[in-house]
Amino acid sequence: MNRFLNAVRFLTILPVQRWVSPTSTQMGEAMVFFPFVGVILGLILVGVGWVLSPVFPSGVLAAILVGLLIALTGGLHWDGVADTFDGLGGARGDRERMLSIMKDSRIGAFGVLSLCFLVVFKIVLLAELPLSAWKGALIVMPMIGRFLQVEIAVWGRYARAQEGTGRAFVEGAKPGDFWLALAGVVIIAALAQGWAGLGVVALGLLYGAGVRAFFNRKIGGITGDILGMASETGEILVLILIYFLS
């Protein structure tokens, strides 16, 4: 239960009581529950969407739900999106420069453009889905986004020599956590989206492997920013696949 609560505390702004601050090891161990926190977020979105769907057109409702998801997570992963794309855009192949740019708290042009593009793209994709696909999409999307973090952290290596937020997850998550998370994700995706849900899981696994391989080559591993970026871009891939399969 503590591992689950630690996952909820880290990934959301939901009012979960913090009795003791978790250690780095405990945060890594909590990763097994990341996809299921995504399911909770998805169920909240489904409930809000059900209440508001008679009031707002699909485009406005999509914007509200994407904004709500950002709010519920405290914008946690969007900082990683901006930092990662700033690093990719400004480093020009220099590993140390990319790591330095990603660590810089300031946001650059590539970061701003990536945030704008991904938010708008996510809203448009959701708005274009048939309403019959919304319920499953809103559950599977945040679940797969957070499952990607588990996959990449378990099978990846940390890129920085010094400490960073991502080290606890990359070094603390174990292969058993990945397999347990995958089993739950497969079951929930199948229940929510049927065969399309299983296709989404397969695509997520391939995408996670691709992200890990790409950054292993670029900077010798992954960071916390990359985990956040993979989560947000992975959600977009989920919506794209559901769009074509709906």
pLDDT (tens, 9 = 90+) of the chain, 246 residues, equals: 678 888 898 899 888 766 556 666 777 888 999 999 999 999 999 999 999 999 999 999 999 999 999 999 999 899 999 999 998 887 776 788 888 888 877 888 999 999 999 999 999 999 999 888 999 999 999 999 999 999 999 998 888 766 666 788 888 888 999 999 999 999 999 999 888 899 999 999 999 999 999 999 988 899 989 999 999 999 999 999 999 987
Q: What gap in Å lies between CA 119 and CA 152, rounded to an integer?
A: 23
Residue 71 belongs to some domain of the structure: yes
138 assigned to some structural domain: yes
Please check whether residue 169 lies inside any domain of the structure: yes
- Helices and strands: H and E segment counts in the chain: 12, 0
Q: Is residue 66 part of a domain?
A: yes
Find out whether 208 and 233 touch, Cβ atoms under 8 Å.
Answer: no
Number of domains in the chain: 1
The 8-class DSSP code of residue 17 comes to -
Sequence-ordered alpha helix ranges (H) in the chain: 2-11, 24-29, 34-52, 58-72, 78-91, 95-103, 109-128, 131-155, 165-172, 175-193, 195-219, 224-245
Domain annotation covers residue 226: yes
Q: Does some domain include residue 59?
A: yes
Answer yes or no: is 18 within a domain: no
Contacts of 100 (CB under 8 A, 6+ apart): none
| Residue-range definition of the domain harbouring residue 43 | 2-13+25-245
